[in-house]
Chain A
Amino acid sequence: MRVLLRPAQYLALAAYILFLGFPLLWLISASVKSSGELNSLTVSLLPQQWHWDNYSDALDRQGLVHSAGNSLVVALVSTALVIVIALPASYVLARLKGKIRAAGVGWILVSQVFPVVLVILPLFLILRTIGLADSLAGLTLVHTTYTLPFALWMLQGYVSAIPVDLEEAGAMDGAGRWTVLRRIVFPLLMPGIVATAMFSFVSSWNEFFFALVLLQSPENYTLPITLNMFIGGEGKVSLGPLAAGAVLAAIPSIVFFTILRRRLTSGLMAGAVKG
């Protein structure tokens, strides 16, 4: 029985990976099929004929590369800003006791309950007043603001998981507040920072509605807006080029995840505190 357990585990893992990866495989398959094949009843993962023109169509038609550049800038900058702001704020929220903390946490939760359509018009007016409407800087600001509450919530959980005893031990050994943070807290917090950065990056990379409404000039369009233009009126959809565009759009996210994946370690604190 035990002999069969390990292969069964691998089989289950392979099935799970296939389950998770199938939509991406299907997307890649659609991206290399002709319009005729996509609109036929023949269902096959492998195309009858490889139709690479979808990629050139996607790249030529709607300024996809330029939009991807815009999305990358906005996603990277808003991710950096979110981490820079959320890191100290989450530490304070996690370590502070009393009513101020409760009020802070409550405020974060309240900020999440307003629907986007409710805030979009005032937001647009504010951005226009400060000259940031229809600009990547304005969109970055909005993405940062919109992602920050959840990032704070996430990071606060990670900070709370670090025993205060570790900081006190560092202080007893003569380390100052900054040294404790830099040498003890931040390294232990790295998986949380990475997870939060991933969340912020993907939120910004995929964000559609704010970009749709706030960006007016095609040269400022981000990737979701450009991909949206493959869907036309009257139900017309350029499915092949759209799939090709979506495959290309997924690449930066995959690269970003690959770079940060190794930092997503856990168990650093196992056995750090006795008893």
Chain B
Amino acid sequence: MKSRRLVAAALAAAASLLFTACSSGGDSADGPVTLKFQSLSDQPAAIAATNKIVDDWNKAHPDIKVEVVQAGWDGVYDKLITQFNAGSAPDIIHYEAAGVVPFAKDGYLADLTPYLSEQKKTDIPKGVLDSVTVDNQVIAYPTELQSYVVFANRALLQKAGVTIPTGDTMTWDQLREIARATTRDGAYGLGWGLSSPTAAMVALAPGFGGKYFDGTGTDAKISVGQGEMALPQLVDAMAHQDNSILPVTLTQSGSNALAPFYAGQTAMTIQGSFQAANIAKDAPAGFDWVVLPPLAGPAGPAQAANPQTLSVNKDSAHVEQAAQFIEFFTNTENLAALNEADALIPATTSAREALTTKLGAQNGWKEILSSGQYLTSAPYLFVDKYAQWKDTVATPAYQKFLAKQIDANGLSKELTDGWNSINR
């Protein structure tokens, strides 16, 4: 009896499915232009902010209707590559610079240079604009950024007699000194989640003059010299000579390294700047934390930017209208609201300043927003097979180095030989 009911339910569902499939309609040719906007916003506040921007646009532009198609970050590259190849990609695409550059090089994205207003062009820091410029074409509008910043437990720093740095920047040497001073009473100075270390190493290398790659595409050549090796060697020295890094955090993700920070096992932790929102939410009651000034190496406080972006599908029938929408989406007010919701750094100077005015007095925001001005373009964005090198060569090599299985020469050799092997 139960089996018969099950079969009946299945048949009814099948009929319903077929009806749904047959009755789905397409856009009306006579109606307003409809643009599909595939958004990857993931936080409830950011989804709400995105929807508000779209609603505002739709109210002001009844002839150009934008529809949000919510999607997830995980697997989005596979989804997009299928959509592009099958000619069914959305008109407006939310992603990140590292993800869209390969699509631009393959000719799937529209050149937005003619639509980028002069005001917007001057509002986006050059280094950030460079990160979305491929073959002299602007292939995306940058929207949100993150930087690596140092979160510190004020009580542990004060207990160790450390004066909390307050300048425009602080040096890596200062960080090392503070980590040494706060490594006491069973606590470690620093916790740094480096289970996937390549992103951090590559992003922070510009502060030491490191570039990793020269050239673009398949012509790119790797260069692992002093600038590239400085940070891994510093981490190695802090972890194994100073013993000022909690060892287990080197094998953890960034998020997992927050737990020992909350528990007072580490006095500081290096995290993506967006973690400020999570720390404010999750830290135990009374936990007194600060964000230290942006880290500067011998070459300054520069970090590689990999902004979230909005691009337009080259095959869209409405490239111009899509670009108009993106201009609206990235105006100062909208970018400030979106970045506030996502706890990220706006990609335009005016939005960053607006957010500093609004939130500068709140814990951490001033330092985090300040770090945004040092973000710059990264050569790795324009290198074919970077993702393959990162996953199959660099990450295992850094992990072995941090675990003392290979020395600095071994790391340099593995990074270089691995690239040359992949890029043959």
Give me the interface of A with B, judged by CB distance under 8 Å: 35-36, 38-41, 57, 61, 73, 76-77, 79-81, 117, 120-121, 124-125, 128, 131-138, 140, 208-209, 212-213, 216-218, 225, 228-237, 259
**What would 27 A/B residue contacts be, using CB atoms closer than 8 Å?**
A40-B284, A41-B260, A73-B16, A76-B6, A76-B10, A77-B17, A80-B14, A117-B78, A120-B78, A120-B82, A121-B85, A135-B17, A136-B21, A140-B14, A209-B75, A212-B75, A212-B79, A213-B75, A213-B79, A218-B69, A228-B72, A231-B42, A232-B73, A233-B40, A235-B272, A236-B43, A236-B274
Q: Residue of B at shortest CB range from A125?
A: B86
B2 to chain A, nearest CB (A): 6
Asked if A39 meets B262 with Cβ closer than 8 Å, knowing A213-B82, A235-B253, the reply is: yes
A41 and B265 form a contact (CB under 8 A): yes
Interface centre among A39, A79, A131 (most CB of B within 10 A): A39
Is B422's CB within 8 Å of the partner chain A?
no
**Given that A121-B82, A135-B24 are contacting pairs, would A77 and B13 also be in contact in the complex, using a CB cutoff of 8 Å?**
yes
User: Measured between alpha carbons, how far is A140 from B21 in the docked complex, in Å?
Assistant: 11
**A-facing mask of B383-424, CB < 8 A → 1, else 0?**
000000000000000000000000000000000000000000
Q: Tell me whether A225 and B72 are in contact (CB under 8 A).
A: yes
Q: Verify B73–A233 contact, CB threshold 8 A.
A: yes
Judging by beta carbons under 8 Å apart, are B258 and A131 in contact? no
Known: A41-B265, A135-B20. A233 touches B78 (CB 8 A): no
Contacts A73-B17, A232-B43, A234-B272 given: A36-B281 contact, CB under 8 Å? yes
Q: Is the CB of B255 within 8 A of A76?
A: no
Q: Are A40 and B17 in contact (CB under 8 A)?
A: no
Residues of A within 8 A of B164 (CB): none
B274 proximity list for chain A (CB < 8 A): 234, 236
CB distance from A181 to the nearest CB of B (A): 17
CB-defined contacts of B78 to chain A, threshold 8 Å: 117, 120, 209, 212-213
Report B-chain residues with C-beta under 8 Å of the C-beta of A132: 21
Q: Contact mask B69-110 → A, CB, 8 Å, 1/0?
A: 111111100110011011010100000100000000000000
Q: From A34, which residue of chain B is reached at the shortest CB distance?
A: B282
The 9 residue pairs across chains A and B that have the minimum distance between CB atoms: A232-B42, A80-B10, A137-B21, A229-B72, A36-B282, A228-B72, A233-B73, A137-B17, A73-B13
Contacts of A81 in B (CB 8 A): 14
- Confirm or deny: B299 has a beta carbon within 8 angstroms of a beta carbon on chain A: no
Partner of A76, one of B13, B69, B73, B284: B13
**A residues less than 8 Å from B259 (CB atoms):** 39-41
Q: How far is the CA of A73 from the CA of B265 in the complex (A)?
A: 49
Residues of A within 8 A of B255 (CB): 39, 235, 237
B2, B75, B90 — which one has the most chain A CB atoms within 10 A of its CB? Answer: B75
A272 to B31 CA separation, bound complex (whole angstroms) = 71
B7 sits at the interface (CB 8 A): yes
Docked Cα-Cα span, A138 to B22, in Å, equals 11
User: Could you mark each residue 202-245 of chain B with 1 if its beta carbon is under 8 Å from any beta carbon of chain A, else 0?
Assistant: 00000000000000000000000000000000000000000000
B308 at interface (Cβ–Cβ under 8 A)?
A: yes
C-alpha gap A259/B1 in the complex (Å) = 12
> In the complex, A138→B21 CA distance in Å?
8
A35 adjacent to B21 (CB under 8 Å): no
List of A residues within 8 angstroms of B9 by Cβ:
76
Interface contact A217-B69, CB-CB below 8 Å: yes
> With A213-B78, A237-B255 in contact, is A121–B20 under 8 Å at CB?
no
B321 to chain A, nearest CB (A): 20
- The answer to whether A229 and B71 have CB atoms under 8 Å apart is yes
* In the bound complex, CA of A229 to CA of B146 (Å): 20
A230–B260 CA distance with the chains assembled, in angstroms? 24
A235 CB → nearest B CB, Å? 6
Q: Which of chain B's residues has its CB closest to A220's CB?
A: B20
In Å, the complex CA distance between A209 and B10 comes to: 23
B158 at the binding interface (Cβ < 8 Å): no
Instruction: Knowing A40-B262, A121-B82, say if A231 contacts B88 (CB, 8 Å).
Output: no
Query: CA A259 – CA B253 in complex, angstroms?
Result: 41
Give the chain A neighbours of B283 by CB distance below 8 A: 36
Interface residues as binary, B255-270 with A (CB distance below 8 Å gives 1, 0 otherwise): 1001110110100000
Question: Which B12-62 residues have a C-beta within 8 angstroms of A?
Answer: 13-14, 16-18, 20-21, 24, 40, 42-44
Which residue of A133, A138, A229, A230 is within 8 Å of B70 (Cβ)? A229
B364 within 8 A of A: no
The smallest beta-carbon distance between B84 and chain A, in angstroms, is: 10
Task: Give A39 to B259 CA distance when docked, in angstroms.
Answer: 5
Whether A235 pairs with B254 at a CB distance below 8 angstroms is yes
